[in-house]
């Protein structure tokens, strides 16, 4: 991580907080017939995004949550605020810590009449090393499980596009923290990147969330390029940065005096941040494969776009596909 990269990341937070007014999401003609899924939907940015989407008149909103009881409460609150009929929102269960749960969810989604958008909002930020499905938890939930869901839903998205003419979107929240990453964890020599990140002896957990978001950008760029050239039909995958927002994501830091002060001074409201995610799930082809900030395409860090970053991107993507193949054999053919 260079000093310039870190300053750019911090600067984008400051600029967005004090000099940017995010646009309020507006409806489109297709929304009244659309089906959109939001994961991590019962709290934080996911909940606020669901409120926006319901208010905009999405035909069917699927709130995907690990705890469906909390999801039903969130649904009730959203309907009370938007006045939409109960039939406009369904609550489904998904646990992004469980591959079987993700597969079951994707199987159910494949039975939908159409699928126009997925906001893959469910994420994890922890500095404690722990394994989930044999992989470090930040890496597993934020990266491997998220792209497992993407590839499992991609055939349905393409089927929907052919049926409706509406290009489906898959949106994954990102962060300016990808500018502030311990790059030495990616300089693994002959060792696989994922194996190194799964080693408790060498893992730098203080910035593991940051690194997971960098890996998301690498994968989004690769998937966008490869799926676009596959000839199987257009889809959009993008990764918007809502910037620093008040949410439950950084719950390990909440309650400390320094964090509370910084959050009070610098954080966007959860509702404001959710506007960027709704923009991503409704955005056009120009956002395919792109990192977005303040509802606009932005160039990511040099350790993404430079020659070194491109080499790491290729290596990591190959490892990611290999790992996904072990979870669901044949899944790479979905690209």
* Spatial contact of 59 and 34, defined as CB atoms under 8 Å apart: yes
Mind giving me the DSSP string for 261-284?
HHHHHHPBPHHHHHHHHHHHHH--
What's the rounded Cα separation, in Å, for the pair 134 and 326? Answer: 12
213 catalytic residue (yes or no): yes
Selecting among 51, 60, 213, 246, the annotated active-site residue is: 213
| Phi, psi of 65, deg, nearest 5 | -140, 155
251 catalytic residue (yes or no): no
Give the list of residues 6+ apart from residue 184 with CB closer than 8 angstroms, or none. none
- Give the closest residue to 124 by CA, choosing from 193, 5, 209: 209
Alpha helices in the chain (DSSP H): 3-19, 44-56, 68-82, 99-109, 137-139, 145-164, 193-197, 208-228, 257-266, 270-282, 302-305, 307-327
Selecting among 47, 209, 218, 291, the annotated active-site residue is: 209
What's the rounded Cα separation, in Å, for the pair 14 and 77? Answer: 32
Treating both helix axes as pointing N-terminal to C-terminal, what angle do 145-164 and 307-327 enclose, rounded to 10 degrees? 90
Q: Which residues are catalytic?
A: 209, 213
């Amino acid at each position: 991580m260079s000093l310039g990269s870190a300053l750019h990341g911090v600067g984008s937070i400051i600029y967005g907080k004090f000099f940017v007014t995010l646009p309020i999401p507006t409806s489109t003609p297709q929304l009244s017939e659309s089906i959109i899924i939001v994961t991590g939907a019962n709290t934080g940015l996911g909940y606020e995004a669901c409120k926006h989407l319901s208010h905009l008149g999405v035909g069917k909103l699927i709130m995907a949550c690990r705890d469906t009881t909390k999801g039903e409460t969130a649904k009730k609150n959203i309907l009370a605020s938007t006045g939409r009929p109960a039939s406009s929102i369904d609550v489904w269960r998904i646990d992004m810590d469980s591959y079987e749960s993700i597969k079951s969810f994707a199987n159910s989604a494949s039975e939908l009449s159409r699928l126009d958008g997925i906001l893959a909002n469910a994420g994890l930020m922890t500095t404690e090393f722990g394994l989930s499905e044999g992989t470090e938890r930040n890496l597993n939930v934020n990266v491997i499980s998220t792209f497992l869901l993407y590839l499992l839903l991609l055939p349905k998205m393409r089927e929907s596009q052919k049926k409706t003419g509406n290009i489906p979107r898959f949106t994954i929240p990102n962060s300016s923290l990808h500018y502030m990453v311990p790059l030495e964890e990616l300089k693994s020599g002959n060792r696989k990147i994922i194996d190194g990140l799964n080693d408790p002896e060498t893992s730098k957990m203080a910035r593991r969330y940051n690194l997971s978001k960098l890996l998301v950008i690498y994968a989004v760029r690769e998937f966008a390029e490869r799926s676009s050239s596959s000839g199987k039909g257009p889809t959009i995958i993008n990764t918007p940065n809502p910037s620093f927002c008040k949410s439950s994501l950084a719950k390990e830091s909440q309650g400390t005096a320094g964090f509370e002060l910084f959050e009070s001074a610098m954080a966007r409201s959860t509702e404001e941040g959710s506007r960027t995610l709704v923009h991503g799930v409704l955005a056009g082809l120009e956002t395919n494969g792109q990192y977005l900030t303040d509802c606009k395409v932005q160039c990511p860090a040099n350790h993404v776009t430079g020659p070194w970053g491109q080499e790491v991107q290729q290596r990591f993507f190959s490892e990611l596909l290999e790992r996904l193949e072990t979870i669901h054999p044949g899944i790479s053919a979905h690209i």
